[in-house]
Structure formats: structure tokens, C-alpha cells
Amino acid sequence: MIAGGALAAALVLWRWTPRAAAPPSITAVPVAEAPAEKKAIAADQAPPRAEKSLAEGAPPPEADAPPIVVERYGARRASCAGVCDLEARCGLRTFADCTAQSCEGEVRKLSNADFTLAGAADCASAAAAPCEEACWKRGECTGHHQADQQCTKACKRLVEQLPAETYRESRCVLERPCEELPLCAERR
């Protein structure tokens, strides 16, 4: 794991290019060949924010990352270790928050969004993974689904601006009973 200021330096040295079907490759870019990035950092004297890498879809591939989908008692389930590791590497939630809020032992609370998350090509698509199911649940709680598609589109647009906050709100919606959903918007 890269921490703090080292992450900013790594973002200057690395450029992520996501591919639709396969995990994105990471291509090293020597600093001498990247004067625009060097000037941008020198201009504001501030490293790029982590949210920028989320918006650009910078997936942190880890060869030793735990699997996201596992088989438990004959059924496919989302692994707590795998999903929480991905959430932490993408800056969506801390590992501790993820395990405390979303896990039942070694597996996640049952959610279709976790299987969408397993197929995410990058952090931006991982952040948008729970949007559709969270909007469906809102429809279940209100008793109608007329606004589900509009809600999903709005959620995915919001992920582009506030990926971590939107992800946490969507997970909150999925993990709480209907009467507690107003609390999810307050947690942002």
C-alpha cells in the first residue's frame, strides 16, 4: 500500500488506462516525459486529490488481493476481505468501516451490488456499483418504482463528482431498514 505523500508522487509517475473488458494496465511514465503533470504540481504546490484518481477510474490492481466472490456453503457470496480490501484501495471506505457495516462473518450481507462490484474494471465503476440496487430499494421503501431509472442515472452522475460519498450513501441504503433511509443522506 502506498500512503499519504507517496500516493501523490505515484500519481505523477503512473498513468492508468482502463480497458472495458480487462483490468486496466499501469504504464510507467518517466517524469522527464511528463512535463505537463510536473508543471501542474509545481503550479499549485499541491498533490492531486485521491478523488481525482477515483473519478479517472484509477484501479489499484493488487496481485495478492483476496478474491471478491467466494463459494460458501454451496452458494456464491461476496467475500468480506475481498470487497473491503477493494473499497479501501479505492478510497471508498476504510477496511474497518466496511467490515463493521457490511459483513456477516467472512461474507458480506447479501447484495446484488457486490457481484456488480466484482466485475468493476476500475474504481470509478466500483463506486457506481451499488447505485442501481440502492435506487431499487428506495422504490421498495416508497412503494413505487417509477423513479428508479432516473435515480440510478442521477446516482451515477453524482459518483463522477463525489465517488466515495455517493458510494457510502448507496451502501447505507442497502444495509439499513426503510425507516432509517433518511439517515443515509445525513452521513455524507
Reported as a single tens digit per residue, the pLDDT across 53-107 is 444 555 555 657 788 888 888 889 999 999 999 999 999 999 999 999 999 999 9
Q: What is the spatial distance between Cα 149 and Cα 132, in angstroms, rounded to a whole number?
A: 8
Mean of pLDDT values over 135-163: 95
Mean of pLDDT values over 181-187: 81
Which position has the higher pLDDT, 97 or 33?
97
Q: Is the pTM of this model over 0.75?
A: no
Burial of residue 126 (CB within 10 Å: 0-12, 13-18, 19+) is buried
Q: What is the spatial distance between Cα 103 and Cα 29, in angstroms, rounded to a whole number?
A: 39
Q: Are strands 75-78 and 103-104 parallel, antiparallel or unpaired?
A: unpaired
Q: At 108, is the secondary structure helix, strand, or coil? A: strand
User: Which secondary-structure segment (H or E) carries 70?
Assistant: strand 69-72
Question: E strands along the chain, which residues?
Answer: 14-17, 25-28, 69-72, 75-78, 103-104, 107-108
Mean of pLDDT values over 129-140: 96
What pLDDT score does 120 carry? 87
